[in-house]
Structure 1
Amino acid sequence: MRSSNPVFSRRGFTRGNDYAGFETAGARGGTPYGGAGGNPYAQAPRNPYDDPRSRSDQQLEEMYAAPAASPAQTGRMTIDDVVTRTGITLTTVAVGAVLGWVALPDNYGLAVGAALIAFVLAMVQAFKRTPVPALILGYAAFEGVFLGVLSRIYNEAWQGAPVQAVLGTMAVFAGMLVAYRARIIRVTARYQRIGMAVAIGFVLAMVVNLLFAAFGGSDTLGLRTGALGIVFCLLGIGLGAFFLSLDFKRVEDGIRGGAPRQESWLAAFGLTLSLVWIYLELLRLIAILRD
């Protein structure tokens, strides 16, 4: 099954019947070059003309004595690569947020402009065949500016709401990571289908609500206030946690399947998108609860 998320669906992160991820070469009838069911990043088959028997005893001894190549030496993605790139991306978001908070107070128009630029950069990256760090960091910077301005507006209306939302986002991330590592959550194809169906319905409902608010002059559907608003915020947070579980699975599969190191930027991009989603939903939930 291929993922509905365009960020990952073009790079082999979502292959397989039971789990969405890389597979070893030749698994389930696949070819070692990434054909149907195969891992596109699997190693090519051994050269049939490279017969170990043709080597001298000294050459064989040197081969066995040589240390094993690490993933970093072979250009493969490691967990350190993912952590480093994710840290860089989130730091860029934080710097942009500080800039938006300090330099652009209460300027909601510029915040919306920054959000639109971030959206365009994210879409361009989503449909590129390879990760482009400049696009990812550009998205992070503009998204950070938007979050900074928006957070200050929320903080002036509900003192301390941004701090609570940040702590809540960290808690959701830690909880999902523990649940995933303990295999309490298993990312199967059925799990993905159900989650994506709910996500599509959620986004459509929010778009309709936005249209009613823009042309009707009020929050006609009531998705941003009252009990229904709380339910939708909780649903949004749950969807953010769902996206995090997909991100964790893709990172695990990428490392196990030997994805190129540059794919760690893609993993950082996906994790950042999920964390920003959770933060915004938490910010909105806190505002409703304290209103």
Structure 2
Amino acid sequence: MRSSNPVMNSLTTAKGGIQRGAYPAGAPQGYQDPYSGYGQTTTGDRPMTVDDVVAKTGMTLAVIVVLAVLNFSLGLVNPGLALMLTFVGAIGGLITVLVATFGKKYGSAAVTLIYAAFEGLFVGGISLLFSGVTFGESAADAGVLIGQAVMGTLGVFLGMLFVYKTGAVKVTPKFNRIMTGALVGVLVLALGNLLLAVFTGANPLRDGGMLAIIFSLVCIGLAAMSFLSDFDAADKMIRAGAPSKMAWGVALGLAVTLVWLYTEILRLLSYFRSN
């Protein structure tokens, strides 16, 4: 069972001694449980626990929040420098995720915290832009908008955790395949819209119109459903006895989804305020 989150997807291969396990009901011939090999690892690291995931995710989010506040505050006095750091954060965060995913650095605390630092700069800068401070909005109004986005993000996260724990939505291989296809589709649309904006000036998916609102709602829905895959992957790694260092990879995967969700909620709120 693979996750729709590419970082979580990589985590399922971060182990040695994979052995064929029992076939679950309905599994095709030749199926291998991607989590079954953790029990045979001899890294000397203790098994991962829920507390490890909570602690590492908390530290990752703390770094993001601190850097976001710093860049947002910098933007109030020097918008040009803050926007430059925002661009650096966006590119740096993307490169870090690619390194973690394809360079198999998913158990590295350094990689996760470096990603958090870059994403903190990005989140602070994007909050500055969407809140309208650089376009004359007061800091108080900006704070209200950002606070609403933060509460919305937290609410969606906790809501999806409740949905997962109650089993209201089952995470199956088919579910993950559908999610992966949907995420690829959204990525293609976003890239196409970016190219359209660069070459023609038209920006239908991000101009605040009805189509842009629908697109943001779709992105928010996909980000919310992605949490189910993330929780499922983390849960199975814990039960399979994955090394505790893998909690850093889980934290990275959750942070990627949280940042995406926060950005889309903040963008959507900015549309309604503008309208």
TM-score band w.r.t. shorter chain: 0.7 to 0.9
Q: Where in structure 1 do 4 or more consecutive aligned residues deviate above 6 Å?
A: none
Cα distance in 2, alignment partners of residues 204 and 264 from structure 1: 30
**2:169 aligned with 1:202:** no
Distance 1:4 1:282, change over 3 A: closer
In structure 2, relative to structure 1, the CA distance for the partners of 1:4 and 1:173 (3 Å cut) is closer
- State the 1:150 CA deviation: 1.8
Aligned AA for 1:256? Answer: R
Q: Aligned AA for 2:185?
A: G
Measured on the aligned residues, the alpha-carbon RMSD in Å equals 2.4
Q: Judge conservation of contact 1:13–1:250 (CA < 8 Å) in 2.
A: no
State the match for 1:216 in structure 2.
200
**Partner in structure 2 of residue 37 of structure 1:** 32
Question: What is the CA-CA distance between 1:222 and the residue it aligns to?
Answer: 4.2
The count of aligned residue pairs is: 249
For structure 2, the residue ranges without an aligned partner over 5 or more in a row are: 25-29
* Partner residue, 1:290: 273
Name the counterpart of 1:234.
217
Query: Residues 4, 285 of structure 1: CA spacing in aligned structure 2 closer, same or farther, 3 A cutoff?
Result: closer
Q: Are 1:261 and 2:244 counterparts?
A: yes
1:86 aligns with 2:30: no
Equivalents in 2 of 1:119, 1:222: separation in Å? 21
1:149, distance to aligned residue in structure 2 (A)? 1.8
Q: Distance in 1 between matches of 2:45 and 2:92?
A: 36
> Which deviations, in whole Å up to 9, do the C-alpha atoms of 1:161-214 show, x marking residues without a partner?
211110100000011001110101111011111111111111111111111111
Q: TM-score, normalised by structure 1?
A: 0.79
Write the letter of the residue equivalent to 2:23. R
Match of residue 49 from structure 1: none
1:135 to 100, 108, 111: 111
| 1:2-47 deviation per Cα after TM superposition (whole angstroms, max 9, x unaligned) | 4454323344369xxxxxxxx9973229xxxxx9614121248xxx
User: Contact 1:6/1:127 (CA < 8 Å) preserved in 2?
Assistant: no
Identity %: 37
**Which of 26, 39, 44 matches 2:21?**
26
1:168 pairs with 152, 163, 168, which one? 152
Confirm or deny: 8 A CA contact 2:234 2:250 kept in the other structure: yes
Partner secondary structure for residue 206 of structure 1: helix
Q: Which has the higher contact order (CA 8 A, sep 6+)?
A: 2
Cα pair 1:97 1:147 within 8 Å, conserved: yes
Contact 2:86/2:122, CA 8 A, preserved across alignment: yes
Aligned to 2:9: 9
Q: Summarize the alignment of residues 93-112 of structure 1 with structure 2, pairs less than 5 Å apart.
A: 93-105=64-76, 106-107=79-80, 108-112=83-87
The amino acid across from 1:145 in the alignment is L
User: Aligned equivalents of 1:214 and 1:121: distance in 2?
Assistant: 25
- Identify if the C-alpha distance between structure 1 residues 164 and 257 changes in structure 2 by more than 3 Å, giving closer, same or farther: same
Which one-letter code corresponds to 1:12 in the other structure?
A: T
SS at match of 1:168: helix
Q: Which runs of 5+ in 1 are unaligned?
A: 15-22, 30-34, 45-72
Which of 1 and 2 has greater Rg? 1
Partner of 1:147: 123
